[in-house]
Amino acid sequence: MSAFVQQVVNGVAIGGIYGLIAVGYTMVYGIVGMINFAHGEVYMVGAFIALVGFVALAMAGVTSVPLAIVVVLLAAVIVTAVYGWAVERIAYRPLRGSFKLAPLISAIGVSIFLQNGVALLQGARVKSMPPLVHGGLDIGSAAFPITVSYLQLVVVGVTVLLVVGLTWMLASTPLGRAQRACEQDMTMAALVGIDVDRTIAVTFVMGAGLAAVAGTMVLLYYGTIDFMIGFVAGVKAFSAAVLGGIGSLPGAILGGLLIGLIEAFWSGYVGVEYKDVAVFAILILVLIVRPAGLLGRPEMEKV
């Protein structure tokens, strides 16, 4: 029983990270109706910016771990948000009125560009960092040991705060209303005075910021990154968005948590070799039963 609960804890922590990346996919798809396949590489860039930030703070003599994490998070979000804005401005906006495959091809090109750019700047070898957050809480007993690390609490806490804040923003702010209006009909939104280009650009920026937080959390959680992590995490986060229901914010978080739990239980009870196969096999089975995802709604064709 303790092993089961321990895997739930592990799965929720990593699932929260997948959920943050998946939110970026689902927000862009909800408004533009296209998948940003460069989003995984934006997450990878965020992780490398965090690594550079931690190294720079260590060289500057900063010894406070909470201060270092806050500063690096802010720096990673700001710089990665610029990348998100650039992806929208260069790869999507000029092709928005073109045939639907054009932005997809453009986004894949940006993805390859970012991968190779980071490999040239930082090297192709795996980068590692010593753990910064140590210790945890023993919530079990001697007979049923269960440990929740402080880092897992940080990951879950940051995820919950960001999701709650994002939900409030979408429901209660002018930007959120503009985003929901663009999601329903961009032409009518423009006719009532909404700056559609600005709203879409801000959505890309927000998704990139969430990806930067996820990249920082992954760096802290695993301690190793390389220029290819964006591809693997991006595919899993996209799968999470599809599993939960592409275009649904709660669905993206639910899908991320489910994929995290599937990985944790498969790794704990079967083995780590085929955990990715298990994730995609279950995704296929779910989509056979519910093609729109768990919380998704079938698309209505506008006429």
- pLDDT at residue 49, as a whole number: 94
Average pLDDT over residues 235-247: 85
- pLDDT at residue 139, as a whole number: 76
User: Residue by residue, what is the 3-state secondary structure of the chain?
Assistant: CHHHHHHHHHHHHHHHHHHHHHHHHHHHHHHHCCCCCCHHHHHHHHHHHHHHHHHHHHHCCCCCHHHHHHHHHHHHHHHHHHHHHHHHHHHHHHHCCCCCHHHHHHHHHHHHHHHHHHHHHHCCCCEECCCCCCCEEECCCCCCCCEEEHHHHHHHHHHHHHHHHHHHHHHHCHHHHHHHHHHHCHHHHHHCCCCHHHHHHHHHHHHHHHHHHHHHHHHHHHCEECCCHHHHHHHHHHHHHHHHCCCCHHHHHHHHHHHHHHHHHHHHHCCCCCHHHHHHHHHHHHHHHCCCCCCCCCCCCCC
- pLDDT at residue 293, as a whole number: 80
Residue 301, pLDDT > 60, answer no
In this structure, of 183-197, 210-224, 270-284, the range with the lowest mean pLDDT score is 270-284
pLDDT-derived band at 216, boundaries 50, 70, 90: very high
Architecture in CATH for domain 2-289 = Orthogonal Bundle (1.10)
Give the type of residue at 202: V
> Do 133 and 63 form a contact (C-beta atoms < 8 A)?
no
pLDDT-derived band at 297, boundaries 50, 70, 90: low
Summarised one tens digit per residue, pLDDT across range 95-116 is: 877 777 788 888 889 999 999 9
Spatial CB neighbours of 105, under 8 Å, sequence gap ≥ 6? none
Average pLDDT over residues 115-125: 89
- pLDDT at residue 100, as a whole number: 74
User: Which pTM was predicted?
Assistant: 0.90
- pLDDT at residue 140, as a whole number: 66
Average pLDDT over residues 256-282: 85
pLDDT-derived band at 1, boundaries 50, 70, 90: low
Summarised one tens digit per residue, pLDDT across range 148-202 is: 889 999 999 999 999 899 989 988 899 989 988 988 888 888 888 899 989 999 9
- More confidently predicted of 303 and 190: 190
Summarised one tens digit per residue, pLDDT across range 15-44 is: 999 999 999 888 888 777 777 888 899 999
Spatial CB neighbours of 39, under 8 Å, sequence gap ≥ 6? 21, 24, 25, 28, 207, 208, 211, 234, 237, 238
Distance in angstroms (rounded) separating the CA atoms of residues 54 and 212: 14
- pLDDT at residue 300, as a whole number: 56
Could you state, in order of their start, the residue ranges of all structural domains in the chain? 2-289
pLDDT-derived band at 79, boundaries 50, 70, 90: very high
127-136 long-range contacts, CB within 8 A, separation 24+: 127/48, 127/51, 127/224, 127/225, 127/226, 128/223, 128/224, 129/51, 129/54, 129/55, 129/219, 129/223, 129/224, 130/223, 131/220, 131/223, 132/54, 132/65, 132/68, 132/69, 132/220, 133/65, 133/69, 133/220
**Average pLDDT across the chain, whole number:** 86
